[in-house]
C-alpha cells in the first residue's frame, strides 16, 4: 500500500470495489460553514474520499459541499455510518435513508456499523449486530451501497458476521502511532478486510511527540505527514481530519517520501500513547 502516488490511487476491497487510499475525516468537524468550507477545500486539494457518520451531525453540510464542489459523483467515495441507537433491521434501513437524503446522494460508496453492540449493555449483542448486518446486506444487494463494513469491531464481534452471506469489506478502527490494535489488525488481514485508521494523528496528540518530530524532520516532513504515511506503510487507510485549509493541504503531501524500514521499526515499537481509551465492549453510548 505504500507505492501510491496520489490521493486518486485506490485499493481494491474484497468485493472488487475500489477505494481511494486516503480519506478525509470529519469527526468533530462542526456543522455549517466550517464543514462546508473544509470539505470543499479537501475536494479542491484532491481528496476523493470523504468519511462521515450520522452522529457527526454534519451530513447536510457535507452534502452541500459535495454539490457545490461540482465534482463528479463517480469520482468521489463517500462513507457514512449507522449510529448505535439505530441498530437493528428496520431502524438501520431508516437510518440509511436519512443519511442518503441528508447527503443528497442516491447511493453511498461505503456504509458501516459505527460500533458493535456492547457486551456490557446487551445480552444479545451478537444477534443485534447480525440484525443490523442483515439490513446492510439488503441495501448492498439492492445497489444502494457499493461496499459494507463495520467500525470498532474486534475479532469476537466479527466472528458471526464472517459466517453470513456477505462478509464485511472494511473495519474502521482507532489506529495510530502508539495504538496499533495488533490482534484486530491481524484478524482483518487474515480475513481480507481492509483496516481504515480513525484518528491517525491521535486527534492531534501525536504531533508534539519529540521522536516523531525528529524522524519527520529527516524527511523534511511534518509529524502529521509522517503519521499519515506511517498508516499507509502499515497497510491501513488513514482518515486524517482537519478544518484548517493549510493543514488539509499539508496532509495530502504524503506521496513523495518513504519511511525507511528502520524508522518504521522505531515508530512501531513506540509504547501506548494518545489513545481515546474507548473500549468497544465497555462503551456506554
Ligand atoms: P484542525 O481540525 O483544527 O485543523 P485526527 O485526524 O487524528 O482525528 O486529528 C485531528 C486533529 O489534528 C485536529 O485537531 C486537527 O486540527 C489536527 N490536525 C490535522 N492535521 C494537522 C496538521 N497537519 N498539523 C497540525 N494539526 C493537525
Pocket of ligand 1 contains residue 238 by CB under 6 Å = no
pLDDT at position 3, please? 83
- The angle at the Cα of 183, spanning 177 to 185, to the nearest 5 degrees, equals 65
Catalytic residues: 56
Between strands 24-25 and 18-20, the pairing is unpaired
| Atom of ligand 1 lying closest to residue 225 CA | 23
pTM of the model: 0.98
The residue to mutate among 204, 227, 231, 252, having the most atoms of ligand 1 within 8 angstroms of its beta carbon, is 204
What is residue 49's three-state secondary structure? strand
Cβ atoms of residues 80 and 120 within 8 Å = no
Neighbours of 221 (CB within 10 A): 20
Question: Cα of 204 to ligand 1 centre, how many Å?
Answer: 5
In order along its 285 residues, the chain shows pLDDT tens digits of 568 999 999 999 999 999 999 999 999 999 999 999 999 999 999 999 999 999 999 999 999 999 999 999 999 999 999 999 999 999 999 999 999 999 999 999 999 999 999 999 999 999 999 999 999 999 999 999 999 999 999 999 999 999 999 999 999 999 999 999 999 999 999 999 999 999 999 999 999 999 999 999 999 999 999 999 999 999 999 999 999 999 999 999 999 999 999 999 999 999 999 999 999 999 999
Burial of 208 (0-12, 13-18, 19+ CB in 10 A): exposed
Query: Can you name the residues that pair with 79 across neighbouring β-strands?
Result: 51, 110
Q: CA-CA-CA-CA torsion for 19, 251, 154, 119, nearest 10 degrees?
A: -120
Question: Cα of 25 to ligand 1 centre, how many Å?
Answer: 10
How far is residue 193 from each of residues 112, 196, 210, 219, 234, measured CA to CA in Å?
A: 13, 10, 33, 31, 14
What is residue 161's three-state secondary structure? helix
C-alpha cell at 155: 475479532
Pocket of ligand 1 contains residue 26 by CB under 6 Å = no
The span from the CA of 277 to the CA of 166, in Å, is 31
Pocket of ligand 1 contains residue 23 by CB under 6 Å = no
Pocket of ligand 1 contains residue 240 by CB under 6 Å = yes
Pocket of ligand 1 contains residue 244 by CB under 6 Å = yes
User: HSE of 220 in the Cβ direction (CA atoms, 13 Å)?
Assistant: 4
The residue to mutate among 241, 243, 273, having the most atoms of ligand 1 within 8 angstroms of its beta carbon, is 241
What is residue 57's three-state secondary structure? coil
| Atom of ligand 1 lying closest to residue 27 CA | 8
Across 130-192, the runs of DSSP E, i.e. the strands, are 145-151, 170-174
Query: Can you name the residues that pair with 1 across neighbouring β-strands?
Result: none
Pocket of ligand 1 contains residue 251 by CB under 6 Å = yes
Which residue, 262, 267, 243, is CA-closest to 34? 243
Nearest CA to ligand 1 atom 26: 204
The span from the CA of 61 to the CA of 28, in Å, is 13
Pocket of ligand 1 contains residue 79 by CB under 6 Å = no
| Atom of ligand 1 lying closest to residue 206 CA | 7
Amino acid at each position: 500500500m505504500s507505492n501510491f502516488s496520489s490521493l486518486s490511487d485506490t485499493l481494491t476491497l474484497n468485493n472488487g470495489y475500489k477505494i481511494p487510499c486516503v480519506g478525509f475525516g470529519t469527526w468533530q468537524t462542526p456543522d455549517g460553514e466550517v464543514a462546508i468550507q473544509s470539505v470543499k477545500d479537501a475536494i479542491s486539494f484532491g481528496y476523493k474520499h470523504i468519511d462521515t457518520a450520522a452522529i457527526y451531525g454534519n451530513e447536510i453540510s457535507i452534502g452541500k459541499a459535495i454539490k457545490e464542489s461540482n465534482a463528479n459523483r463517480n469520482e468521489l467515495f463517500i462513507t457514512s455510518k449507522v449510529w448505535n441507537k439505530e441498530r437493528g433491521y428496520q431502524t438501520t434501513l431508516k437510518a440509511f435513508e436519512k443519511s442518503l437524503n441528508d447527503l443528497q446522494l442516491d447511493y453511498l460508496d461505503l456504509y458501516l456499523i459505527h460500533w458493535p453492540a456492547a457486551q456490557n449493555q446487551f445480552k444479545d449483542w451478537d444477534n443485534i449486530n447480525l440484525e443490523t448486518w442483515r439490513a446492510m446486506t439488503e441495501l448492498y444487494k439492492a445497489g444502494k451501497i457499493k461496499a459494507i463494513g463495520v467500525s470498532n469491531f474486534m475479532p469476537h464481534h466479527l466472528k458471526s458476521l464472517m459466517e453470513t452471506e456477505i462478509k464485511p469489506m472494511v473495519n474502521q478502527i482507532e489506529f495510530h502511532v502508539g495504538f496499533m490494535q495488533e490482534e484486530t489488525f491481524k484478524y482483518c488481514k487474515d480475513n481480507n478486510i481492509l483496516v481504515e485508521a480513525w484518528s491517525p494523528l491521535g486527534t492531534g496528540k501525536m504531533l508534539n511527540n519529540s521522536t516523531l518530530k525528529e524522524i519527520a524532520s529527516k524527511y523534511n516532513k511534518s509529524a502529521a505527514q509522517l503519521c499519515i504515511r506511517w498508516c499507509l506503510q502499515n497497510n491501513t487507510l488513514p482518515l486524517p481530519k482537519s478544518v484548517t485549509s493549510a493543514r488539509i493541504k499539508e496532509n495530502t503531501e504524503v506521496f513523495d517520501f518513504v519511511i525507511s524500514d528502520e524508522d518504521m521499526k522505531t515508530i512501531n515499537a513506540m509504547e501506548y500513547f494518545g489513545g481515546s481509551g474507548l473500549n468497544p465492549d465497555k462503551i456506554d453510548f
